[in-house]
Amino acid sequence: MFPSCVRIDVSACGVNFVDGLFVQGKYQIKPPTPFVPGMEVVGRVTEVAPDVTDVTVGQRVFANVGLGGYSDEVVVPAKRIIVLPDTLSDGQAATFMQSYLTAWFALVERAHVEAGKWLLVSGAGSGVGLAAVDVGRALGLRVIAVASTDDKRALATDRGAEAAIDSRLTADEIKEAAKQISGGGVDYVYDPVGGEFGEVSLRALNDDGQYLVIGFVAGIPKLPANQVLLRNRRVTGVDWGGWAGKNPAANDAMLQDVLRFVADGRLRPVEPVTYPLVDAARALQDLEDRKVAGKIALVP
Ligand SMILES: NC(=O)c1ccc[n+]([C@@H]2O[C@H](COP(=O)([O-])OP(=O)(O)OC[C@H]3O[C@@H](n4cnc5c(N)ncnc54)[C@H](OP(=O)(O)O)[C@@H]3O)[C@@H](O)[C@H]2O)c1
């Protein structure tokens, strides 16, 4: 065993959209091939290096491994592991971290949201979007979800969205629906989808409203500057991974806030759909094809 490390028998590994970008060589970080994708694992500790004193064999833990999670066993530095609250199942625990910390970082640290205001969320039936619905509601925001299927909209509504809009409506219809539901315009937009939705949602923002740049699943939007000027709107970048790397202590504190909300039931990470580990390629394809409501976990 390597010094300062522990061995984990993996019981679930979360699947994220970013994993698909990694394997297609489309992510900003390009690891040398061959590599094993997978960032988030949960399992039992089976071995501990002699110099590790605060972890014991048999403990159920989460580890943010960066890469290599699609495995039945991982060896990670002990400082990377988190002991989990019993309230989270293995599947929930393996799929909540990236999604919830992105949502929390965006809404709390970047937007400084105020309770009672309106939040419009794209891609709201899965991944970071669904987490933003849950976090937004827990922070007292009034949430409007945008998603493509009944299943995804139902999941978002179950997590507390007051209204749900079909993302397959026209750009104008989505904008008008958001304005009508919020009584004139929304205060925040959380957008992991991008593409055409970027401009649509910018135009749905009220005075001093903030558009949060989260992701570009449907392409990088070109936002017209005149629409930012009008009504004194703001566009705010959100790079949770980059920030967490530079601010590990603040990220740990944020994780503790999120875990406290999970432990007392204010946040409810979704129970994921599970695929056998051998079907990892199918899982990535189904995620990219927008077939999955909620999250996916691979089970060795
Ligand atoms: N900024 C950050 O710090 C940060 C952190 C983590 C992830 N991200 C980014 O957030 C984005 C979403 O990640 P995720 O893990 O939440 O992904 P996900 O679970 O796959 O969700 C993405 C959603 O996007 C929607 N979508 C709209 N147009 C699409 C298209 N052309 N192709 C595929 N999906 C489309 C789908 O919802 P509908 O079918 O309902 O439209 C889908 O459910 C990614 O770009 C990722 O890189 C950013």
Query: What's the pLDDT at 87?
Result: 87
Ligand 1 site residues, Cβ closer than 6 angstroms: 16-18, 98, 102, 123, 125-129, 147-148, 152, 167, 192-193, 214-218, 238-241, 287, 290
Give the atom of ligand 1 at the shortest distance from the alpha carbon of 240: 3
What span, in angstroms and rounded, lies between the C-alpha atoms of 123 and 195? 12
Domains defined along the chain, listed by start: 5-84+270-299 (3.90.180.10), 98-241 (3.40.50.720)
Beta bridge partners of 81: 63
Q: Are 70 and 36 in contact (CB under 8 A)?
A: yes
Query: What's the pLDDT at 190?
Result: 98
User: Which among 19, 100, 102, 126 is the best mutation to test ligand 1's pocket, defined by most ligand atoms within 8 Å of the CB?
Assistant: 126
Among protein residues, the one with the nearest Cα to ligand 1's atom 40 is 147
pLDDT in tens for each of the 300 residues of the chain? 899 999 999 999 999 999 999 999 999 889 999 999 999 999 999 999 999 999 999 999 999 999 999 999 999 999 989 988 888 999 999 999 999 999 999 999 999 999 999 999 999 999 999 999 999 999 999 999 999 999 999 999 999 999 999 999 999 999 999 999 999 999 999 999 999 999 999 999 999 999 999 999 999 999 999 999 999 999 999 999 999 999 999 999 999 999 999 999 999 999 999 999 999 999 999 999 999 999 999 999
Ligand 1 center to 107 CA (angstroms): 17
Q: What is the DSSP string of 181-199?
A: HHTS-EEEEEESS-TTHHH
Query: What's the pLDDT at 133?
Result: 98
Ligand 1 center to 16 CA (angstroms): 9
Ligand 1 center to 156 CA (angstroms): 14
Query: What's the pLDDT at 74?
Result: 97
Query: What's the pLDDT at 62?
Result: 96
Alpha helices in the chain (DSSP H): 17-23, 90-104, 127-138, 150-158, 171-182, 197-203, 225-229, 240-246, 248-263, 280-288
User: Which among 19, 193, 246 is the best mutation to test ligand 1's pocket, defined by most ligand atoms within 8 Å of the CB?
Assistant: 193
Ligand 1 center to 145 CA (angstroms): 14
Give the atom of ligand 1 at the shortest distance from the alpha carbon of 242: 3
Give the atom of ligand 1 at the shortest distance from the alpha carbon of 289: 33
Ligand 1 center to 193 CA (angstroms): 5
Give the atom of ligand 1 at the shortest distance from the alpha carbon of 167: 41
Among residues 60, 113, 102, 128, which one has the least CA distance to residue 244? Answer: 102
CA angle 202–175–208, rounded 5-degree value: 35
